[in-house]
Every structure is written in structure tokens, then in C-alpha cells.
Amino acid sequence: MRDKLLALAALQKVDLDIAALQKNAEAYPREIAELEKQLAQARAAVDAERTRLEELDKQKVNLEHTITDDKDKVRKWEARLTEQRSTREYSALAREIDIAKKGQQTMAEEVVELGKQATLQREAVKQKDADFQVKAKDLVEKVDQLKGKLKDVQAQIAGIDGARTEAAKQVDSGLLKRYDTIRKKRLPALVAAVAPGTCTGCRMNIRPQLYNQLVASRGLDVCPSCSRMVYAAEALEAATPK
Ligand SMILES: [Zn+2]
């Protein structure tokens, strides 16, 4: 019985290794996704600053076009000014021209202001882009590292399958069946009980009779509390050859 128990314990060791590897295999993609999200957010922040700059530049160009068009219009009005017969018509047009020119002056001041804002914004974009490049480099490196680790873990999982098959072959088929059924619900499925009768799987006490029986038989039973396969640690240790 003790050999059967040892074979089962050996199999469980492989299963615990596989479980640990799988935990990493599931954690790495989550970490990678989180870093990629941070990268996308940082990129979006720089893009938003760049869009703001483009808007300022566009506003400035539009305003400059408006001024040019307005100047053409005023030039035509000025040409018509000499053709005005009555004083009233003359002064009305002259006033329109005056108002238009004042408007142009205001727009020209806005162009200057937009130019200043654009210059500041261009500096901000440059700075933020430089910061982003540093951050992006760091994030990309971390993502690459995690991807490497994930690949390693996946290779290890693939490699360990063979070891699992080998270890399972050594286990008594009836025990294997019971073990596999429990393992799907809770791992470890095989746990030790320690004197005077505590299951190390669930920390609950087991009946003294059951414990004594496990020690005497060096066998297996089921923990009444957690339904795991349980053996007496001292029975296994006492019989371990030096
Ligand atoms: Zn238990």
C-alpha cells in the first residue's frame, strides 16, 4: 500500500507543478493586457495634445484666410468710394470700410494670439511625446518580457504532459480514478493527516479511530470534512528508508 501511496504522491507533485504553471499561463496574458492598456492610454493622451495643436493651427489659417478675403472686399469698397455721388452714400460706405478695418485689426490680434498658443502647444506636444517615448519603451520591454515568460510556461506545460503520463502509469488504476475525480474539484486531492488527527487539507479534525487506522494500515481513506484522500503522515515517514 505504501508504494501505491508514494506513486500517487509523485503523480500529485506533477499535477501541482502543472497547476502552478497554468496559474502563470493565465496570469501573464492579464498582465500583458493591462500594460498594453496603459500604453494605449499614454498614446491617446499625446494624440489628444497633438489634435489640440492641429486645431490651433487650423483656426489660425482659417482666420488668415478670412482677413485676406475681407481685405479684398474693402479694397473693392474703397474703389467704389470715389464713385459715390451723394455725401450720405459716401459717408455710409466710408463707415462700413472703417468698421471692416477695425474687424480686421481684431482678427489680426487673434491670429497673433493663436500663433502664441500654437507655439506653446507645439512645445507641450514635443515634451509629452518625449515622455511618452520613454514610457512606451519601458512598457514594450515589460510586455516583451512577459510574452517570453508566457512562451516558456506554455512550453513547460507541453513538456510536463509526458511526465504526467509516466507518473500516472505508476499509480494503481482504482486509486488513479478516485484521485482524478477529486483533483478536478480540489487540488491537492491527496493530503496528509497529522497526529492526533487533523486533515492538512481542510484543517478539520478526523476521528481518532480513523487516524489510528490510517497509521496502522499505512493506507488511504477519505476525510469526512473535505472528501480528499487522506493518509497518515507519520505512517509514511516512519517507513521511509534511510
Ligand atoms: Zn479534510
238: confidence class by pLDDT, cuts 50, 70, 90 = low
Domains with residue ranges and CATH for the chain: 2-169 (1.10.287.1490), 173-238 (no CATH)
Is 60 exceeded by the pLDDT of residue 239?
no
CA–centroid distance, residue 225 to ligand 1 (Å): 5
Quote the pLDDT of residue 207. 93
196: confidence class by pLDDT, cuts 50, 70, 90 = confident
CA–centroid distance, residue 216 to ligand 1 (Å): 19
Is 50 exceeded by the pLDDT of residue 242?
no
CA–centroid distance, residue 224 to ligand 1 (Å): 7
CA–centroid distance, residue 207 to ligand 1 (Å): 11
CA–centroid distance, residue 229 to ligand 1 (Å): 8
CA–centroid distance, residue 210 to ligand 1 (Å): 12
- Contact present, 56 and 118 (Cβ < 8 Å): yes
Q: Which three cell numbers stand for residue 26?
A: 493565465
CA–centroid distance, residue 192 to ligand 1 (Å): 9
Quote the pLDDT of residue 45. 94
CA–centroid distance, residue 231 to ligand 1 (Å): 11
Tell me the pLDDT tens digit for each residue of 36-71. 999 999 999 999 999 999 999 999 999 999 999 999
3 state SS for the chain? CHHHHHHHHHHHHHHHHHHHHHHHHHHHHHHHHHHHHHHHHHHHHHHHHHHHHHHHHHHHHHHHHHHHHHHHHHHHHHHHHCCCCCHHHHHHHHHHHHHHHHHHHHHHHHHHHHHHHHHHHHHHHHHHHHHHHHHHHHHHHHHHHHHHHHHHHHHHHHHHHHHHHHHHHCCCHHHHHHHHHHHCCCCCCEEEEECCCEECCCCCECCHHHHHHHHHHCCCEECCCCCCEEEEHHHHHHCCCC
Is 50 exceeded by the pLDDT of residue 105?
yes
pLDDT, average across residues 121-140: 96
pLDDT, average across residues 6-29: 95
Is 60 exceeded by the pLDDT of residue 240?
no
Is 50 exceeded by the pLDDT of residue 241?
no
CA–centroid distance, residue 79 to ligand 1 (Å): 104
